Chain A
Amino acid sequence: MSEQKQEWPLFEVFIRARSGLEHKHVGSIHAVDARMAIEHARDVYTRRQEGVSIWVVRSNDITASDPEEAEALFEPARDKIYRHPTFYAIPDEVKNL
Chain B
Amino acid sequence: MSRQLSSNPTGILIEGVDLAYGAIPVLSDVNLDIRPGEFFAFLGPSGCGKTTLLRLIAGFNQARRGRVLIGGTDVSGLPPWKRDVGMVFQSYALWPHMSVARNVAFGLEERRLPRDEIAARVDEALDLVGLKHLKDRKPSQLSGGQQQRVALARTVAVRPKVLLLDEPLSNLDAKMRVQVRRELKDLQRDLKLTTIFVTHDQEEANTVCDRIAVMAEGIVQQVGAPMDLYDRPGNLFVAGFLGSANIVAPLEISDGRATLPGGSRLEAPGTGEGGRLMFRPQNARLAAPGDSLSTGRIRLPGRVVHREFLGAMVRYGVRVEETECLVDVPHLGGEPAFEVGAPASVDVDRGRVLWLGA
Determine if chain A interacts with chain B.
Answer: no
The residues of B with any CB-CB pair to A shorter than 8 Å are none
The residues of A with any CB-CB pair to B shorter than 8 Å are none
